Structure 1
Amino acid sequence: MKHTHPQPGDIGLTRINGVSGRLIRFGQWINGDGFADYEHAFLVLPDDRLLEAEPGGARIRPLAEYDGAEVLYVCPEGLTEAQRSAICRAATRYVGVPYSFLDYLAIATHRFHVPVPGLRRYVASTRHMICSQLVDQCYQDGGVHLFADGRWSGYVTPMALYTLLATG
């Protein structure tokens, strides 16, 4: 479900400009998630804050840092206030979790059925997460499973979130 006024537990999807954005877009395309302009995802928290994964580690920032940016806010249909609260409580555990561009490569390796021992454990690890993995993990920890397609935990890109929540 798409909307314009963000609430705690919503997912913000936005564009990243420059080389990083192009690399993420390419990584999403390799993973079969399309080649569109949503390269970043974050989780809206109470008190006009957000949690996002970044190269220096996941951090909580003011939501106002995205004022003026083109952000699409999405969430699953029927998300309850109790679920929103649980998702946001879970989010605080992930402050400082490192970011890893290598997760895009790992996700692609799985997509192309390249046999790599320990790949599932590597991607599901909370030692490092890309932004969309972080959002998905907070939802899982809050008792809400976004994907029912049998994907491994952690195998999610910003475009996968867009496709699931904004195009339906």
Structure 2
Amino acid sequence: MKHTHPQPGDIGLTRISGVTGQLIRFGQWLNKEGFADYEHAFLVLPDGRLLEAEPGGARIGSLSAYDGAPVLYVCPEGLTTPQRTAICEASARYVGVPYSFLDYAAIAAHRFRLPVPGLRRYIASTGHLICSQLVDQCYLDAGVHLFTDGRWPGYVTPMALYDLLA
């Protein structure tokens, strides 16, 4: 479900400009998720805050950082207030978690069924999270499973969130 007034527990999807955004778009294209302009995902928290994965580590910031930017806010149908609270509470344990562009390569290798020994274990155990993995993990920690298609944990890109919820 998409809407324009973000609530705690919502997922914000937006674009990243420059080379970084182009690399993410290419990675998503390799993953057969198209070239739409959603290269970044973040979690809306109470009091105008957000949690987002950044190259320097996951951080809590101000939602106002995206004022004027084209952001699509989405959430699953029927998300309850207690679920939203649990999702936001789960976010605190991920502040500072490192980011890894290598996860995009691992996700692409999985998509192409490349015989990479230990790939599933690598995606699940590096301790690094890209933005969409971070959002999905907060939902999982709160007992909300966004994806029911049998995908590996961590096999989530911003466009996968868009395709599921928008």
Deviation at 1:126, TM superposition (A): 5.7
Alignment of 1:63-82 (within 5 A): 63-82=63-82
Q: Residues 126, 42 of structure 1: CA spacing in aligned structure 2 closer, same or farther, 3 A cutoff?
A: farther
Pair 1:31 & 2:31 matched: yes
| Uncovered stretches (5+) of structure 2, i.e. residues with no partner | none
Partner AA of 1:56 in structure 2: G
- The Cα offsets for residues 78-133 of structure 1, whole Å up to 9 and x where unpaired, read as 00000001111111100000000110100010111111121111111261011000
% identical aligned pairs: 82
The number of residues matched between the two structures is 166
Q: Secondary structure at the match of 2:164?
A: helix
Aligned partners of 1:34 and 1:150: how far apart in 2? 21
1:65–1:86: structure 2 CA closer, same or farther, 3 Å change rule? same
| Alpha-carbon offset, residue 64 of structure 1 | 0.7
Q: Which residue of 1 aligns with 2:87?
A: 87
Q: Any unmatched runs of 5+ in structure 1?
A: none
Quote the Cα distance in structure 2 between the aligned partners of 1:35 and 1:65.
24
Correspondence 1:11-160 to 2 at 5 A: 11-125=11-125, 127-160=127-160
With normalisation by structure 2, the TM-score equals 0.98
Name the TM-score, length of structure 1 as normaliser: 0.97
Aligned partner of 2:163 in structure 1 is 163
The 2-side partners of 1:144 and 1:100 are apart by 24
SS at match of 1:73: strand
Runs of at least 4 residues of structure 1 off by over 3 A?
none
